[in-house]
Amino acid sequence: MTAEDFRQDFPIFQGNDYVYFDNAATSQRPLQVIDAVSDFYKRSNANPLRGLYDWSVDATDRYEHARKVVASFIGAASETEIVFTRNTTESMNLVAYSYGMANLRAGDEVVITVMEHHSNILPWQSVCNKTGAKLVFMEPDEEGYISREEYESKITERTRIVSVGHVSNVMGVTNPVKEIAALAHKVGAVMVVDGAQAAPHMKVDVRDIDADFYAFSGHKLMGPMGIGVLYGKEKLLDKMDPFLTGGEMIEYVTRDSATWAELPHKFEAGTVNAADAVGLEEAIHYFEKVGFDFIREREIALTSRIMEGMKANGHVKLYGPEDPADHCGIVTFVIDGVHPHDTASILNEDHICIRAGHHCAQPLMQFIGAGSTARASVYFYNTEEEVERFLKSLDGVRKVMGYGY
């Protein structure tokens, strides 16, 4: 199968000439996923986990089956370690509030990197402010790599939690989360991984990484918006209090007390998003059909050509690693003398969709000295022709802005 073959499965690509290079923000969905969600509502719609009649039992079965598929997709020991959330943001908040609030004291440290997405910064800022713990930032080198010296110097006996993005949504680098987890465990800290940008691109094995918590979003790997995942080791989840309380997450309630349902239900308060869980399961099946090798091979080929074309342009500043293979399909850049918002708007005139702004990573923007940047992010279904159209449009940007070239 080629990229062109796979594109046929995506309704959004049919009958128009848009080039979609904002895959790091959200990927597109194949018809199989859209149909799976629709099929849930057509055939099984009832409140899951509650009713004793056939439709509700069917909804429950499909929801719980999706959980099993997710567990096996990331190598979890059991599906009880998979909590469905709305997205990575909610997963990170769950860990920060349910684990962090209960386990941090004044003098403790939470170690993250300056490259994190805001969803892996703000929950920790908030919990550190409330508990008196200190937030410590690891810093990358020019290309975005975190060195061993850096994490060995920042992770100390005071560290209680280390929370690191598996892949940076700006630099594209893959962080050495397995090595960092080993060090975190050596000092008695827990390792949290924000896998939002990794799960759509590489084989994730939470047990091989030895992550204590691992979060990702369905919508970045061709699944529906509104379904996310939090993996947590059972021994940790077991001891944590719920993040949200209400219906469905209890065992027994009296007027002034309650006991909690078994894992993972104690973390899934209220009516669950079964239709989107079913859609996520279908996305995982589709993803596995495409295969990690094909995804990686396509991303490297397209990224290499994008970086080569940008270097030939002569007016483009590139961020992230020199090696296109280390970009995970993400190319962040600024054109000399052109605000990234202008770049994105000019490209949009040619029906090319890229992202511009701070990418929810303002501390990183401050660190690299850029107010904002532009970002093109490719996925396996993008083509060489699209890359050439993108580069041609990019070459015209300075002219539109009134520069001689």
Ligand X SMILES: Cc1ncc(COP(=O)(O)O)c(C=O)c1O
Whichever of 66 and 196 has its CB closer to ligand X, that residue is 196
Shortest Cβ 127–ligand X spacing (Å): 17
Q: Note whether 93 binds ligand X by CB under 6 A.
A: no
Residue with tokens 């997450």: 249
Which of the 8 DSSP states describes residue 322? Answer: S
CA 167 to chain centre: 8
3-state secondary structure 206-245: HHHHCCCEEEEEHHHHCCCCCCEEEEECHHHHHHCCCCCC
Q: Looking at 100, 165, 200, 264, which residue binds ligand X (CB under 6 A)? A: 165
Number of residues that bind ligand X (CB under 6 A): 13
Interface residues for ligand X in 10-29 (CB under 6 A)? 25
Whichever of 372 and 383 has its CB closer to ligand X, that residue is 372
Q: Looking at 28, 44, 60, 89, which residue binds ligand X (CB under 6 A)? A: 89
Residue with tokens 């924000």: 194
Do the strands 159-165 and 134-138 form a parallel or antiparallel pair, or are they unpaired? unpaired
User: What crossing angle do the helices spanning 292-313 and 384-395 adopt, rounded to 10°?
Assistant: 20
Shortest Cβ 197–ligand X spacing (Å): 5
Which position among 128, 328, 353, 360 bears the catalytic label? 360
Whichever of 88 and 382 has its CB closer to ligand X, that residue is 88
Whichever of 60 and 169 has its CB closer to ligand X, that residue is 169
CA distance 254 to 241: 18
Shortest Cβ 120–ligand X spacing (Å): 6
Pattern 185-204, binding to ligand X, x per CB under 6 A? Answer: ---------x-xx-------
Interface residues for ligand X in 212-231 (CB under 6 A)? 217
Residue 353 falls in the annotated catalytic set? no
3-state secondary structure 80-107: HHEEEECCHHHHHHHHHHHHHHHHCCCC
Interface residues for ligand X in 109-138 (CB under 6 A)? 117, 119-120
Shortest Cβ 353–ligand X spacing (Å): 15
Residue with tokens 């690693």: 321
Shortest Cβ 245–ligand X spacing (Å): 22
CA distance 400 to 178: 46
Whichever of 24 and 66 has its CB closer to ligand X, that residue is 24
Shortest Cβ 218–ligand X spacing (Å): 8
Question: How many C-beta atoms lie closer than 10 Å to residue 54's C-beta?
Answer: 10
Beta strands in 157-203 (DSSP E): 159-165, 190-194
From residue 211, how far is each of 192, 232, 238, 310, 317 by CA, in Å? Answer: 6, 8, 16, 37, 35
Q: Note whether 263 binds ligand X by CB under 6 A.
A: no
Q: Note whether 87 binds ligand X by CB under 6 A.
A: yes
Q: Looking at 88, 174, 303, 382, which residue binds ligand X (CB under 6 A)? A: 88
Whichever of 49 and 167 has its CB closer to ligand X, that residue is 167
SS3 28: coil
First-residue to last-residue Cα distance in the chain: 40
Per CB under 6 A, residues contacting ligand X are 25, 87-89, 117, 119-120, 165, 169, 194, 196-197, 217
Q: Tell me which residues are annotated as active site.
A: 360
